């Protein structure tokens, strides 16, 4: 911009609001619960330590860069490792508290996270096994995870966090943290626990041993006075410090070198670094440090301690001194102007660029379904809320979304995409109350909780004319189009004419006769003008679909669908408001970028920059960007889960599960369900049973343990997944549910769960297991028409063939057909279809096994069923040319002596022909 030239006011406003928009993008990292922000981490990176005339800063590629802990926290790496790793056994109890036949089962869920323990099995007796056992014990004690937002905090008497905050410990914490960090780097810091239990102290000395740095009593005064003793002896703190001493003194470092920090993305994707003591202490440092001042003190202390170790080590111990200097270089680096400008802030700048790279011009204030105000999302957002029970009960009382649909509509109408904010330009539709409500509570691209929901309900109640359309329940607007429109008119203060028009429509509708077609046309035109009058974004088209009259609570109303299609620049988004007699539903049904989406390219460019150096910080930054790119791809593919990218293995060991733990944070219910189903399929034996003491089973159990934070319906859903395990009762002792209830769950299981298990069994290429799951599915849906085409005919019939015939014989296919023969529903039709399909695929892919093809052809038994209807389900790779060739040979080989056999053969061939495209093959007889 030229000197002296002023920006126009509109340019200033747009620039201002674009910046605000960047701050509320779904991905932007903001400080939560006292953790350091990016700006604070940048201050730390810029801070210079002066020593002997040199300027030194923390190495941006090293362990003191808190950007590491920042990404570890945000991406859920320590969360996944602590709560789900199978090396830890989660303690919980689920008990059925209601009768088997209760309409709404009640379960008691007790999660004793303070009792989580290192698994008793799975560790070898060598150095590696001992290290892993010690490491996971430290992990449990340092990250109790009583609260996800503050994972290191705990109110237990002997918790490490309680000891660190005690008066005598707190003033030395920077020294203790520095010591633990350097011990993780292989420096033998002279720290020890001395004295008996009641008089134990943590003592740190200078390397020479002549000077004591600190001497902190281990027991601390109990908050609850007890007659016998008023002190807590801090067992967990003792275990942590002794664990670090044990690991730092390991001589055979090569035995655990596979767990060291990765330097490349290829190494990172193994997930083995989750078992690194360096990873653990770096994550803890970020969670513990609240201020820049604390971090600076820790950094300075680390520097001083390393110098002390170097200066007090004998010159003859060159190997040790060399190692200490390498650690010094890992933690700090000298700077010049060039280095500072081009390297020091590289990683922080990349992370700060992410929100800018993610900017897209949104036509709506919701970027995904989870941001829409509805009961399900509010319940999810309020799970850990510290709110009175009666307030939380508002969320779970009833199932009406009507009042929230109105809020969603208002959000869309008031959203101005050019400035990414809510605006109230229409003075007639503006009230001080609604503007105050939005200014206080509502921001684009953010979801709401129960408190905001309650305030919105209060606003509606204060605005509505209850005698008209506000029906029968507090917090419940009546269903139907006119109820919704009238409520909107009232809460937006739209004036008498709109209300009068709605009332006239409602009165006409409540006459005895069915309204004429033109009546619905008038409603359609009114709805269009109604929304156009309010909306900020005038690029709105409105249409009403399938409008019908229905009676609810002694009044008629109109039900159907309202479609709002918004456009802004290159963005087009469609909303569907479904009005049913039970409820009102608001959904984003279509969201597309009409022109080229350049977000991935911009993000990939940032990722390329971060990969210019090989170190753990670079890996974390790249991983962070990769997850965003992956989420964009998933939206393009209709939200396919990460499950599609999982390793295909029948031997699900600890290392394979480590790969899963770094895929993404395991939080949402659907992802947990997919993980459980996938793991069950991967770890099941051929008969559907699972061994109790396996990494896979413990991984499943730990996922179930995390469901204490969800509602009852979610818990029931995950328990239905558990019924996929044949011996589920014996391998899940934590779940005390009656066998009759399990049986009922299995009978009522969501068909989708069984379908997914079938598809995963196909991926695993496990024929016995595939037959087991298909059998369960068919039995559960025996009386339901057309279940088979849904699962196999359309989705994966060829893949089923590949699995069943992997041995190039009919062993598994015979078992499958025997299962089908035992079914009551359409078994003959199903058998006939499969016989034909398998025959076609064998002709095309098993030509080197003519006996197999002959056997399959012989097994085809054509019943009185029209075979042509199956043609669309059998996908030929060569337009049935292979089948053509085989049938041609069969025709020529028909016996001329036995007329009866010849006629049977001709009829069989003739009956098979309709499954093929007849214009390609016309066999004459």
- Report the candidate in 63, 59, 24 with the shortest Cα–Cα distance to residue 620: 63
What is the reported pLDDT for 81? Answer: 98
Q: What is the mean pLDDT of residues 661-672?
A: 90
End-to-end CA, the chain: 87
What is the reported pLDDT for 920? Answer: 40
Cβ neighbors of 911 (< 8 A, separation 6 or more) are 862, 867
Backbone angles phi, psi at 532, to 5 degrees: -65, -30
Pick 630 or 383 by higher pLDDT: 630
Strands (DSSP E) found in 569-666: 571-579, 584-593
DSSP state of 276: -
With a cut of 50, say whether residue 4 has pLDDT above it: no
DSSP state of 116: -
What is the reported pLDDT for 331? Answer: 96
What is the reported pLDDT for 646? Answer: 60
- Return the number of other C-beta atoms located less than 10 Å from residue 852's C-beta: 20
Q: Label the pairing between strands 92-96 and 107-111.
A: antiparallel
Q: What is the mean pLDDT of residues 210-223?
A: 83
With a cut of 80, say whether residue 828 has pLDDT above it: no
Residue indicated by tokens 């399929």: 681
With a cut of 90, say whether residue 711 has pLDDT above it: no
DSSP state of 98: S
Identify the helix (H) or strand (E) that includes residue 830.
helix 827-845
Angle at 23 between CA 18 and CA 25, to 5 degrees: 90
Contact 310, 324 (CB under 8 A): yes
Percent share of the chain, pLDDT over 70? 82
Q: State the DSSP string of 430-474.
A: --HHHHHHHHHH--TT----HHHHHHHHHHHHHHS-TTTT--SBT
What is the reported pLDDT for 647? Answer: 61
Identify the helix (H) or strand (E) that includes residue 57.
strand 54-58
For the chain, the domains span 31-60+123-344, 369-592, 783-925
Q: What is the mean pLDDT of residues 678-691?
A: 93
Q: What is the mean pLDDT of residues 424-446?
A: 75
With a cut of 80, say whether residue 463 has pLDDT above it: no
CA 82 – CA 140 distance, rounded (Å): 7
Cβ neighbors of 665 (< 8 A, separation 6 or more) are 75, 76, 79, 80
Q: What is the largest CA-CA distance in the chain?
A: 111
With a cut of 50, say whether residue 640 has pLDDT above it: no
Among 262-266, 731-735, 767-771, 878-882, whose mean pLDDT is lowest? 878-882
What is the reported pLDDT for 722? Answer: 93
Assign 785 a pLDDT band (cuts: 50, 70, 90): low
Tokens encoding 135: 């490491």
Residue-wise pLDDT for 513-564, tens only, equals 777 778 888 888 999 988 888 888 888 889 888 888 888 777 888 899 999 9
Assign 922 a pLDDT band (cuts: 50, 70, 90): very low
Strand partners, 220: 232
Among 322-336, 688-702, 754-768, 781-795, whose mean pLDDT is lowest? 781-795
CA 402 – CA 480 distance, rounded (Å): 9
CA 899 – CA 895 distance, rounded (Å): 7
What is the reported pLDDT for 18? Answer: 38
Burial of 501 (0-12, 13-18, 19+ CB in 10 A): middle
Residue-wise pLDDT for 369-414, tens only, equals 778 887 767 765 654 444 444 444 444 444 456 888 888 888 888 8
Pick 10 or 485 by higher pLDDT: 485
With a cut of 90, say whether residue 901 has pLDDT above it: no
Cβ neighbors of 235 (< 8 A, separation 6 or more) are 158
CA 18 – CA 447 distance, rounded (Å): 20
CA 925 – CA 914 distance, rounded (Å): 15
What is the reported pLDDT for 330? Answer: 95
With a cut of 70, say whether residue 128 has pLDDT above it: yes
With a cut of 60, say whether residue 214 has pLDDT above it: yes
What is the reported pLDDT for 456? Answer: 82
CA 492 – CA 463 distance, rounded (Å): 8
Identify the helix (H) or strand (E) that includes residue 220.
strand 220-221
Q: What is the mean pLDDT of residues 161-167?
A: 89
Burial of 268 (0-12, 13-18, 19+ CB in 10 A): buried
Tokens encoding 471: 């029906």
- Return the number of other C-beta atoms located less than 10 Å from residue 335's C-beta: 16
Sheet arrangement for strand 212-217: 191-194, 201-205, 212-217
Residue-wise pLDDT for 359-370, tens only, equals 777 788 887 777
Identify the helix (H) or strand (E) that includes residue 746.
helix 739-747
CA 855 – CA 475 distance, rounded (Å): 67
CA dihedral 797, 798, 804, 805 (to 10 degrees): 150
Among 49-63, 543-557, 708-722, 872-886, whose mean pLDDT is lowest? 708-722
Contact 664, 79 (CB under 8 A): no
Contact 666, 703 (CB under 8 A): yes
Residue-wise pLDDT for 45-83, tens only, equals 999 888 777 889 999 999 999 999 999 999 999 999 999
CA 684 – CA 687 distance, rounded (Å): 8
CA distances from 653 to 586, 647, 657 (A): 43, 11, 6
Q: What is the mean pLDDT of residues 802-823?
A: 90
Among 53-62, 102-111, 194-203, 642-651, whose mean pLDDT is lowest? 642-651
Percent share of the chain, pLDDT over 90? 37
What is the reported pLDDT for 869? Answer: 58
Assign 337 a pLDDT band (cuts: 50, 70, 90): low
Here the contacts of 430-435 (C-beta below 8 Å, separation 24 or greater) are: 430/492, 430/493, 431/463, 431/491, 431/492, 431/493, 433/459, 433/462, 433/463, 434/410, 434/459, 434/491, 434/492
* Mean pLDDT rounded to a whole number for the chain: 81
What is the reported pLDDT for 210? Answer: 80
With a cut of 70, say whether residue 209 has pLDDT above it: yes
Helix (H, G, I), strand (E, B) or coil at 602: helix
Assign 919 a pLDDT band (cuts: 50, 70, 90): very low
CA 400 – CA 397 distance, rounded (Å): 9
């Amino acid at each position: 911009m030229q000197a002296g030239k002023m920006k126009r006011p509109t340019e200033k406003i747009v620039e201002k609001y674009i910046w605000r928009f960047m701050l509320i993008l779904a991905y932007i990292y903001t400080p939560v619960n006292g953790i350091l922000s990016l700006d604070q981490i940048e201050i730390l990176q810029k801070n210079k330590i002066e020593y002997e005339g040199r300027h030194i800063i923390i190495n941006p590629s090293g362990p003191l860069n808190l950007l590491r802990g920042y990404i570890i926290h945000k991406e859920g790496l320590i969360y996944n490792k602590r709560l789900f790793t199978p090396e830890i056994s989660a303690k919980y109890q689920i008990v059925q508290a209601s009768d088997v036949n209760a309409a709404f089962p009640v379960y008691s869920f007790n999660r004793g996270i303070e009792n989580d323990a290192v698994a008793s099995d799975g560790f070898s007796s060598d150095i590696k096994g001992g290290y892993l056992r010690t490491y996971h014990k430290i992990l449990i004690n340092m990250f109790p995870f009583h609260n996800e937002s503050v994972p290191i905090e705990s109110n237990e008497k002997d918790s490490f966090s309680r000891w660190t905050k005690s008066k005598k410990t707190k003033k030395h914490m920077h020294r203790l943290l520095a010591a633990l960090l350097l011990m993780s780097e292989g420096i033998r810091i002279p720290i020890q626990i001395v004295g008996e239990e009641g008089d134990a102290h943590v003592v740190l000395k200078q390397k020479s041993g002549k000077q004591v740095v600190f001497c902190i009593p281990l027991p601390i005064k109990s908050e609850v006075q007890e007659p016998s003793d008023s002190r807590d002896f801090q067992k967990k703190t003792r275990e942590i410090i002794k664990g670090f001493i044990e690991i730092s003194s390991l001589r055979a470092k090569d035995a655990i070198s596979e767990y060291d920090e990765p330097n490349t993305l290829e190494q990172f994707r193994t997930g083995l670094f989750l078992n690194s003591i360096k990873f653990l202490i770096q994550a803890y440092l970020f969670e513990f440090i609240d201020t820049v001042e604390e971090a600076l003190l820790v950094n300075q202390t680390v520097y001083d301690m390393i110098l002390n170790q170097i200066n007090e080590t004998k010159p003859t111990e060159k190997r040790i001194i060399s190692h200490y200097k390498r650690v010094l270089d890992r933690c700090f680096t000298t700077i010049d102007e060039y280095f500072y400008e081009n390297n020091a802030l590289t990683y922080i700048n990349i992370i700060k660029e992410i929100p800018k790279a993610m900017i897209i011009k949104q036509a709506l204030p919701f970027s995904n379904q989870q941001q829409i105000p509805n009961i399900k999302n509010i319940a999810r957002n309020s799970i850990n809320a510290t709110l009175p029970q009666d307030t939380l009960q508002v969320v779970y009382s009833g199932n009406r979304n009507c009042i929230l649909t109105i809020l969603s509509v208002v959000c869309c109408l008031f959203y101005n995409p050019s400035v990414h904010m809510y605006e109230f330009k229409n003075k007639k539709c503006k009230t001080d109350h609604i503007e105050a409500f939005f200014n206080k509570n509502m921001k684009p691209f953010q979801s709401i909780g129960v408190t905001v929901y309650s305030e919105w309900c209060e606003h509606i109640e204060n605005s509505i004319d209850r005698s008209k359309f506000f029906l029968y329940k507090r917090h419940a607007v009546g269903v139907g189009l006119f109820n919704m429109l009238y409520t909107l008119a009232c809460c937006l203060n739209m004036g008498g004419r709109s209300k009068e028009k709605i009332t006239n429509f409602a009165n006409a509708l409540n006459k005895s006769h069915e309204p004429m077609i033109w009546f619905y046309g008038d409603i359609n035109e009114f709805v269009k003008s109604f929304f156009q009058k309010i909306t900020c974004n005038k690029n709105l088209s409105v249409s009403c679909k399938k409008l019908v009259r229905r009676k609810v609570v002694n009044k008629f109303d109109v039900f159907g669908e309202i479609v709002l299609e918004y456009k802004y620049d290159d963005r087009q988004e469609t909303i569907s408001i479904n009005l049913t007699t039970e409820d009102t539903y608001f959904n984003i049904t279509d969201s597309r970028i009409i022109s080229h989406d350049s977000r991935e390219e911009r993000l990939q460019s940032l990722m390329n920059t971060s990969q210019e150096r090989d170190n753990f910080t670079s890996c974390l930054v790249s991983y962070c960007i990769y997850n965003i790119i992956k989420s964009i791809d998933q939206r393009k593919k209709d939200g396919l889960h990460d499950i599609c990218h999982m390793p295909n293995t029948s031997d699900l060991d600890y290392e394979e599960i480590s790969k899963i733990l770094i895929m993404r944070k395991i939080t949402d219910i659907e992802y947990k369900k997919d993980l459980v189903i996938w793991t069950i399929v991967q770890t099941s034996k051929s008969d559907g049973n699972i061994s109790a003491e396996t990494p896979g089973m413990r991984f499943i159990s730990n996922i179930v343990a995390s469901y204490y934070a969800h509602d009852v319906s979610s818990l029931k859903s995950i328990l239905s997944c558990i019924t996929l395990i044949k011996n589920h009762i014996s391998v899940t002792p934590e779940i005390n549910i009656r066998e009759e209830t399990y049986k009922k769950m299995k009978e009522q299981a969501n068909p989708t769960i069984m379908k997914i298990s079938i598809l995963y069994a196909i991926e695993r290429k496990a024929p016995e297991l595939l037959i087991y799951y298909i059998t369960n599915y068919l039995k559960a849906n025996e009386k339901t028409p057309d279940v088979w085409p849904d699962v196999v005919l359309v989705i994966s019939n060829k893949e089923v063939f590949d699995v069943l015939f992997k041995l190039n014989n009919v062993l598994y296919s015979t078992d499958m057909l025997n299962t089908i023969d035992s079914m009551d529903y359409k078994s003959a039709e199903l058998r006939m279809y499969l016989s034909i399909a398998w025959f076609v695929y064998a002709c095309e892919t098993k030509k080197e096994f003519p006996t197999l093809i002959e056997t399959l052809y012989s097994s085809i038994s054509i019943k009185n069923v029209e075979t042509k209807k199956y043609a669309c389900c059998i996908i030929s790779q060569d337009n049935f040319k292979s089948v053509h060739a085989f049938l041609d040979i069969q025709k020529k080989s028909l016996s001329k002596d036995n007329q009866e056999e010849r006629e049977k053969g001709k009829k069989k061939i003739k009956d098979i022909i309709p499954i093929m495209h007849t214009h390609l093959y016309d066999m004459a007889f």
